[in-house]
Amino acid sequence: MTQQLYAWLDQRLDLSALQHFIAEKSVPVHKHRVWYYMGGITLFLVGVQVFTGILLLLYYRPSADEAFESVKFIVSQVEFGWLIRNIHSWSANLLIFMAFVHLFSTLFLRSYRKPRELTWVTGVLLLFVMMGFGFSGYLLPWNELAFFATKVGTGIAGAVPVVGDFTMRFLRGGDDVTGATLTRFYGLHVAILPAITTGILGVHLLLIQRQGMSVPPSVEKQEKSGATIPQMPFFPHYVLHDLMWWYVALGVLAALALFLPWEIGKKADAFAVVPPGIRPEWYFLAMFQVLKLLPAHIMGVEGEMLGVLGFGLAAMVLLFLPFLDRGAAEGRSSRLVTIGGVIALAYMLVFTIYGYLAA
């Protein structure tokens, strides 16, 4: 039966060409190959988010009057609503964590070198988009923590010179964080960002399929000195590995939902006293801590603005890294990049932990 179905589809879609491509596809085998799976895990988690997100929006209501109640409804009255919500909230965090792992591994392994510059650029853009997802999604439960974290976060956006005020008003849908902000963030979260992701992710994946997996420079050097790099077939070996890692991710999600269930919190009240210890989600915490530590004025310029500009500059460096480290293509990988990467990683770890302890 399946043979007949396959034959019918093949006559119309040329599936045998695709089957051939998959059968021929192979993946290099070397001591760094575990990092190949990081991108796949991130993609899997994006899929989990889309799936659980669609389920949630069947019951969620994006208005200040009903958002909190609808989340409470999902968690307490809809069967397994607690499970879907918990998975969505934890998978968001896990996704961004894996995105950073993927970023740092491709950075240290110089995967961004020619011809994969665009893969890197689209990847960094995707990271920014994912953090946008995280920021917009965080407000949607409309509880106290989310409300004030958004207030602080959008306030920081206002610190950017020239366009800051406009950006803040644009994000907030007004001068303050209100129901208008909620509706706007909802539109961002379920329509605008997904559309952008589809485009950029499509390009990112297409490039990977066309170019295959990057081989780290140290392994490439071996190839140049005569040895051949062993390959493993994409199907079934690599696919099974991928599947195994996806199940590991699923297991981690289940464990997180089991031991650290997500709370409902208290409904947001714009006129309530700001509860102590307000901070953004962990992936913004390192930046937030630095901004908190900067003095109010540095050489006559507003400290917060300098901080935001500094982060903007870092983002630009990250985005255009392949073009700044052209030497990597010829095997002369810049030590600066390795040092920079280590410093960036250390900074993020230290300041994230610091941010938690300070709260």
Residues 82-111 touching another protein, rule: CB under 8 A, are: 82-84
CB 263 to another protein: min, Å: 5
- Residue 182 makes contact with another protein by CB under 8 A: no
- Residue 30 makes contact with another protein by CB under 8 A: no
Sole window of 14-22, 250-258, 326-334, 347-355 interacting with another protein (rule: CB under 8 A): 250-258
- Residue 47 makes contact with another protein by CB under 8 A: no
- Residue 169 makes contact with another protein by CB under 8 A: no
Query: Which lies closer to another protein via its Cβ, residue 85 or residue 110?
Result: 85
Sole window of 191-199, 258-266, 316-324, 349-357 interacting with another protein (rule: CB under 8 A): 258-266
Stretch 188-227: interaction string toward another protein, x if CB under 8 A = ----------------------------------------
- Residue 22 makes contact with another protein by CB under 8 A: no
Query: Which lies closer to another protein via its Cβ, residue 32 or residue 237?
Result: 237
Query: Which lies closer to another protein via its Cβ, residue 135 or residue 234?
Result: 234
Query: Which lies closer to another protein via its Cβ, residue 56 or residue 318?
Result: 56
CA atoms of 351 and 356, how far apart (whole Å): 8
Interface residue list for another protein (CB under 8 A):
55, 58, 61, 65-66, 69-70, 72-73, 75-84, 232, 236-237, 240-241, 243-244, 247-248, 250-251, 254-255, 257-258, 261, 263-265
